Amino acid sequence: MKKTIFEKIWEKHLIEKRNGYPDVLAIDLQLIHEVTSPQAFEELRSRGLDLYDRGRCVATVDHNVPTGLDRKIITDPISRNQVETLRKNCEEFGVKIFDMDSRKQGIVHVIGPELGLTQPGMTIVCGDSHTSTHGAFGALAFGVGTTEVGHVMATGALLQGKPKKMKVEFKGKRSLGISAKDIVLKMISEIGVSGGTGYVIEYCGEVIADLSMEERMTICNMSIECGSRAGIMAPDEVTYEYLKGRSGVEDFDEAVKSWKGFVSDPGCEYDKEVVVNISEMGPMVTWGINPGEAIDVVEVIPEDSEERALEYVGLERGQRIEGVGIDYVFIGSCTNGRISDLREAAKIFRDRKVADGVRVFVVPGSERVQEMAITEGLDQVFIDAGCEFRNPGCSMCLAMNGDSVPDGKRCASTSNRNFMGRQGKGSITHLMSPAMAAAAAIEGKIIDVRKI
């Protein structure tokens, strides 16, 4: 029988299948952060359970960490308690933690790949919906709730119903100025925010093969925004090249032989198939309150837009999205906080100035990304332009750490969600690529980056 990558991984990790019970699925790697883990550790403690395998857990602090200069001093006592609770739990249970200034700290979905822990054919979970990011390597990776975080800690396994299979094929040729972020926003705008619910999406087509690993991660990262359980891409030479020499990888040559088996057989059947044509598309921008409400930057706000969304964002049907003034810019997050994202933004900021009245946060996804940016001199490009080049973390993507967009202010953001209040109470978010966000910073309004 012909099998997809997802089916091959599922079968390889299927511990037990019993009538009347969900499958027992082995989980290879668990990523842990401070927000969704305390109650899971507590559950283990109350049941007198130990970790199943310390070698499969890695923790870091990302959601709550300040990104300013004195980031080690967390002024909010509740945030501080959550970070300290993770430290204590990791100490007690013997979990490896990458804390601030370890040179390996960062957003979980940025550090997993950069340490070489994310590999083809693996099952990876984290108490975080953007775990889908790791699917870019041909891994089955998905977000779980805290109860399931506890299950994996204690048993190395999860009870899972098998999702359905969906294929998204990107066709056409990517034109200049079109990023991975634009491509994934276009897909979500076409299939809708629940178009992938119940499915694992496999992304196919030459468009994907031509993307770098970091671009692939941007697309898989946002798989959850159309409701899918996970996004996955076939590993290839680009994947192996990325992983080669990374510190977490063992027995590389033997590994590659194994990884090569995790591609879909030709002629596989899927429960749902979608084609997205990327020829002639322009840069995408969200206008509304969910990531599916995205349009080409040259377009106007659709006539059939929902009243509630329009009222919240303060825009009107038929209004051009280009030209809408912005107050804040956020460049970072697990979607677009990697070095290639910072390079794209820096290209726009070089020898230009941020518009008056606009505050720009550039937040590297990890300490390693920050270090690379400094080595390449990108930090100075940002600072010269008038941006704040900050310390790594989730920051303004979800505004848990104090970095937030004030009530009623509008932000051009490279993050993944434009939900009501996501970047702070009353904040208005427009999602876009790093280059588009940088262009918006320069102009003080949303603009087609191809004009710069």
Partner 1 sequence: MKTVVSKVVGIFRDDIDTDLIIPAEYLKVTKKDGLGERLFAELREAESDFPLNLVENEGREILVCGRNFGCGSSREHAAWAISDYGFKVVIAVSFADIFLGNAMKNQILPVNLERGVVERISDFDGEVEVDLFSQKVRFAEEEYDFSIDSYRKDCLINEMSDMDYLVSRLKTIRDFDRGRKMFFNINDL
Our CB check for partner 1 shows the closer of 148 and 443 to be 148
Question: How wide is the angle at C-alpha 112 spanned by C-alphas 238 and 34, nearest 5°?
Answer: 160
Interface with partner 1 in residues 17-46 (CB under 8 A): 20-22, 24, 26, 28-29, 35-36, 38-39, 42-43
Q: Which stretch binds partner 1 (CB under 8 A): 58-66, 181-189, 261-269, 360-368?
A: 58-66
Residue 57 Cα distances to 26, 37, 93, 244, angstroms: 14, 12, 11, 22
Residue 451 Cα distances to 422, 432, 436, angstroms: 30, 16, 11
Distance CA 228, CA 239 (A): 23
DSSP label at residue 92: H
Helix or strand (DSSP H, E) at 240 = helix 237-243
Our CB check for partner 1 shows the closer of 297 and 333 to be 333
Our CB check for partner 1 shows the closer of 82 and 333 to be 82
Q: Which of 106, 227, 282, 364 binds partner 1 (CB under 8 A)?
A: 227
Least separation in angstroms between CB 384 and partner 1? 32
Our CB check for partner 1 shows the closer of 228 and 340 to be 228
Q: Concatenated DSSP letters for 254-291? A: HHHHHHTT-SPPTT---SEEEEEE-TT---EEE-SSST
Interface with partner 1 in residues 181-200 (CB under 8 A): 193-194, 197-198
Q: Which of 419, 444, 448, 450 binds partner 1 (CB under 8 A)?
A: 419
Q: Which of 1, 11, 55, 69 binds partner 1 (CB under 8 A)?
A: 55
Residue 185 Cα distances to 6, 259, 383, angstroms: 23, 29, 29
Least separation in angstroms between CB 392 and partner 1? 17
Q: Does 338 bind partner 1 (CB under 8 A)?
A: no
Interface with partner 1 in residues 301-320 (CB under 8 A): 308
Q: Does 425 bind partner 1 (CB under 8 A)?
A: yes
Our CB check for partner 1 shows the closer of 209 and 249 to be 249
Q: How many chain residues are in contact with partner 1, going by CB under 8 A?
A: 87
Our CB check for partner 1 shows the closer of 116 and 332 to be 116
Least separation in angstroms between CB 4 and partner 1? 18
The answer to whether residues 448 and 365 touch, using CB atoms and an 8 Å cutoff, is no
Interface with partner 1 in residues 229-248 (CB under 8 A): 229, 247-248
Q: Does 73 bind partner 1 (CB under 8 A)?
A: no
How many C-beta neighbours within 10 Å does residue 405 have? 27
Our CB check for partner 1 shows the closer of 60 and 218 to be 60
Q: Does 85 bind partner 1 (CB under 8 A)?
A: yes
Q: Which residues contact 253 (CB under 8 A, 6 or more apart)?
A: none
Interface with partner 1 in residues 265-294 (CB under 8 A): 290
Least separation in angstroms between CB 117 and partner 1? 5
Least separation in angstroms between CB 135 and partner 1? 15
- Pattern of binders to partner 1 over 125-164, x per CB under 8 A? --xxx-x-----------xxxxxx-xx--xxxxxx-x-x-
DSSP label at residue 37: S
Distance CA 95, CA 75 (A): 26
Q: Which stretch binds partner 1 (CB under 8 A): 14-22, 231-239, 277-285, 383-391?
A: 14-22
Q: Does 174 bind partner 1 (CB under 8 A)?
A: no
- Nearest 5°: phi and psi at 245? 85, -5
Interface with partner 1 in residues 382-411 (CB under 8 A): 398-400
Residue found by looking up tokens 């692939």 in the block: 216
How many C-beta neighbours within 10 Å does residue 302 have? 13
Our CB check for partner 1 shows the closer of 177 and 198 to be 198
Whether the CA torsion 123, 124, 125, 130 is positive or negative: it is: negative
Write a three-state SS string for 381-434. Answer: HHHHHCCEECCCCCHHHCCCCCCCCCCCCEEEECCCCCCCCCCCCCCEEEECCH
Q: Does 58 bind partner 1 (CB under 8 A)?
A: yes
Least separation in angstroms between CB 308 and partner 1? 7
- Nearest CA to 415 among 397, 388, 391? 397
- Nearest CA to 166 among 139, 199, 134, 192? 199
Distance CA 51, CA 57 (A): 9
Our CB check for partner 1 shows the closer of 370 and 423 to be 423
- Nearest CA to 42 among 160, 197, 146? 146
Q: Does 249 bind partner 1 (CB under 8 A)?
A: yes
Interface with partner 1 in residues 340-379 (CB under 8 A): none
